[in-house]
A and B are shown apart, each in its own frame.
Chain A
Amino acid sequence: AQSVTQLDSHVSVSEGTPVLLRCNYSSSYSPSLFWYVQHPNKGLQLLLKYTSAATLVKGINGFEAEFKKSETSFHLTKPSAHMSDAAEYFCVVSLSNFGNEKLTFGTGTRLTIIP
């Protein structure tokens, strides 16, 4: 079975300060991990993904995440927050083995940017 836990339901940071959104996963097999962002009344947009290549993954809009197998974590970071980063962020896990493509979503972290 696979599962993902987003440790914070809501994070607030000031514009220009670093962002840290935490995610822990559980998977019996080698997982693929994704971060998606959802702006209000919009669909989900892929930020980045990890598929067993480099453990530090760079995504769009200055976001990056590091896969740490020993800690079963895949935290999302950004050095400097921008007002446009305000949105809901989802950590997602999928099994890498062929035949199970179901995405399992975390409960989401709402990111608020303080001007």
Chain B
Amino acid sequence: KAGVTQTPRYLIKTRGQQVTLSCSPISGHRSVSWYQQTPGQGLQFLFEYFSETQRNKGNFPGRFSGRQFSNSRSEMNVSTLELGDSALYLCASSFGRGGKETQYFGPGTRLLVL
């Protein structure tokens, strides 16, 4: 079974631009979560989608948004990019919801904002 895939793997943008990242979960998984990883803040939860609905949200500004499609694929969008948005963005999928579910992570998209 294929793992979680994320595209693109690397991205360079300039301040003020917007960016869209894509995540394809493991086949059959219905929950997709997004995380931001930076050297200063570590790994932080962005949001979680299940059945095309946002179920949980972390403490990030409204510039960060996402959506999930009927095939469980998810996209994350960041508008008006800032230098501090440079990070590794990780997507994780799980079959269902619940704290006992194992989340499987993709390789991440590394975003550099200049």
Chain A positions near chain B (C-beta within 8 angstroms)? 31-32, 34, 36, 42-46, 49, 51-52, 90, 94-108
Inside 8 A of A45's CB, which chain B residues have their CB?
Answer: 105
Query: A43-B107, A102-B56 known; A107 and B45 CB under 8 Å?
Result: no
Interfacial chain B residues near A46, Cβ < 8 Å: 102-104
Known contacts A43-B90, A43-B105, A102-B56; is-contact A97 B43 (Cβ 8 Å) = no
Contact status B100-A51, CB under 8 Å: yes
**When the two chains form their complex, are residues B43 and A98 in contact, meaning their CB atoms are under 8 A apart?**
no
In the bound complex, residues from chain B placing their C-beta under 8 Å from that of A32 are 99-100
> Would you call A44 and B99 a contact (CB within 8 A)?
no
| A to B CB contacts below 8 Å, 17 in the list | A31-B99, A32-B100, A34-B102, A43-B107, A44-B105, A45-B105, A46-B104, A52-B100, A96-B99, A98-B97, A98-B98, A101-B31, A101-B98, A101-B101, A105-B35, A105-B44, A106-B42
B42 close to A108 (CB less than 8 A): yes
- Whether A104 pairs with B106 at a CB distance below 8 angstroms is no
Q: Taking the complex as formed, is B55 at the interface, i.e. its CB lies under 8 A from any CB of chain A?
A: yes
B-chain residues with CB within 8 Å of residue A106 when the two chains form the complex: 42
A31 to B100 Cα, complex, angstroms: 9
> Which single residue of chain A is at the shortest CB-CB distance from B50?
A101
Nearest A residue to B9, CB-CB:
A41
Contact across chains for B97 and A101 when beta carbons are under 8 A apart:
yes
Known: A44-B92, A98-B97. 6 other contacts (CB 8 A): A31-B99, A99-B97, A101-B55, A102-B45, A105-B42, A105-B44
